[in-house]
Amino acid sequence: MNVNTVKDFLGYSRSEYSAILFQVDNVFKSDSIKNDILKTYKIPYEITDWKENNKQLLRGLAAQSTSSLFIQLFILFSIAISIFSLINTKIMEKYKEIGILKALGMNNSNLIKIFVNIAFILGFSGIILGLLISLIMLIVFINFTKDDSGNPIFNLVFRTFNIFLTIIFDIFIIVISGYFSSRKVLKIDPAQIIIGR
């Protein structure tokens, strides 16, 4: 805004202020907003954005984002291992039933479909239960962390894309786990399974 606007709006004369600060919606786009202002308006004053004055903070935020991404990837990897282990254990528990079904003439492709469906049902119910427990834990955490005036310190923000991506990843791992675990068991001779060898 020009000098007269500042004087009229804030009630200060030009000699009474040295800088005007603007708040933007996306703080990480402050440099591009600054460039847009410089291109659009011929302002005879110096314009700086917070990134120029807080380079160490910016590096810290970038490092935090990177470390957060790595933590999320490691969590997803550990979830994938846990899902595979659970599905594999559940299928191995049906060891004798597989032998009986194979002895009765059921082919491997139908058996694989059965176990992929079992894995999907188990996994999907686990996803729903996990989301509900996570939501309850978040609500409890937010309600217990309040400032002196009774307002929550943290706001609960749902990122639908991240939730959707996680569910898709879990379903993919569940189906793959059911498929490969059942294939491993189906290679065994049904006679050996029935007699318990």
pLDDT greater than 70 at residue 1 = no
Same domain, 84 and 180: yes
Distance, in Å, from the CA atom of 23 to the CA atom of 191, rounded to the nearest integer, reads: 74
Residue 103 lies in a domain: yes
Q: Which amino acid is at 177?
A: S
Same domain, 90 and 156: yes
pLDDT greater than 60 at residue 118 = yes
Q: Which two tokens stand for residue 87?
A: 């599905």
Same domain, 122 and 170: yes
Q: Which amino acid is at 40?
A: T
Q: Which two tokens stand for residue 107?
A: 């082919």
Residue 169 lies in a domain: yes
Q: Which residue has the tokens 């919606």?
A: 25
Residue 121 pLDDT = 83
> With contact defined as beta carbons under 8 Å apart, do 98 and 186 qualify?
yes
Same domain, 97 and 25: no
The pLDDT > 90 percentage for the chain reads 0
If one compares 9 and 124, the residue with the highest pLDDT of the two is 124
Same domain, 124 and 186: yes
Maximum distance among all Cα pairs of the chain, rounded to whole angstroms: 97
Residue 135 lies in a domain: yes
Same domain, 49 and 136: no
Same domain, 69 and 46: no
Residue 58 lies in a domain: no
Same domain, 101 and 181: yes
Distance, in Å, from the CA atom of 96 to the CA atom of 79, rounded to the nearest integer, reads: 28
Full domain range(s) for residue 90? 65-195
Distance, in Å, from the CA atom of 175 to the CA atom of 112, rounded to the nearest integer, reads: 10
Same domain, 19 and 113: no
> With contact defined as beta carbons under 8 Å apart, do 175 and 119 qualify?
yes
> With contact defined as beta carbons under 8 Å apart, do 102 and 190 qualify?
yes
> With contact defined as beta carbons under 8 Å apart, do 40 and 49 qualify?
no
Residue 138 lies in a domain: yes
pLDDT greater than 60 at residue 105 = yes
> With contact defined as beta carbons under 8 Å apart, do 184 and 111 qualify?
no
Question: CA nearest 104: which of 195, 190, 182, 187?
Answer: 190
Same domain, 35 and 120: no
pLDDT digits (tens, 9 = 90+) for 14-43: 666 666 777 777 777 777 888 887 787 776
Same domain, 75 and 47: no
Residue 46 lies in a domain: yes
DSSP letter (8 states) at residue 18: S
First-to-final CA distance of the chain: 85
Residue 186 lies in a domain: yes
The pLDDT > 70 percentage for the chain reads 81
Residue 68 pLDDT = 81
Residue 20 lies in a domain: yes
> Which SS3 state, helix, strand or coil, does residue 147 take?
coil
Residue 10 pLDDT = 64
If one compares 77 and 91, the residue with the highest pLDDT of the two is 77
pLDDT digits (tens, 9 = 90+) for 59-80: 777 787 788 888 888 888 888 8
Please state, rounded to an integer, the average pLDDT across all residues of the chain. Answer: 76
Same domain, 97 and 163: yes
pLDDT greater than 80 at residue 44 = no
**Domain count of the chain?**
2
